[in-house]
Amino acid sequence: DSDNRNPGETLEEQMDTVINLTTKSHVTLFGDQSIAAEPITSFEGAGTEVALQTPPPPRGTDAQRAASIRSEDAALTSAFYRFLHDTDHLAADELIAGVQQRQLARRRFDAIARALTGSGLGALPPRAAPVDDACHYAAHKAYVGSCGEWHEMALAFSSTLADLCEQQGGRTEALVGAIAAACA
């Protein structure tokens, strides 16, 4: 939200704003956290340029949320509307394949979560800390090795791997084993 021209805002404050306003995607915090207290102007300039003539549109409104499409749903949504409006004869096949891939990914990740926590995806608490990059990478590589290439219908579950890494305290052994079992 740099367009608000708040020269005293820190990177951490901006990240908090982004997290609070993002409803259709996964915000991930990564990299060097030691610069979080730095003002944004250290990276984007002093903010002395003329303010925008038109104020930005309101954020976080119900209308904005209703018009948004989650990034992991873009391919399914596109195929659905092309099928619905009969503009692409291949859209039905694409839609069916996409739904099947999404369901397979959902079943796999539910089985992985259930094996590690005793509960399915719905009971998994969201992360409270930044992503453990080493654990997430190991889990991703285990998924690709056991389940095949990561595809767009599994995209929504990348954050699930990060949540499970936190739940496991960064330990990968049980997580890698649960992934292998779910994809066997």
Q: Which two tokens stand for residue 118?
A: 């005793």
Model confidence at 51, in pLDDT bands (50, 70, 90)? very low
> For residue 88, what pLDDT is reported?
75
Residues 6 or more apart whose Cβ sits within 8 Å of residue 80? 91, 95
Better pLDDT: 150 or 165 = 165
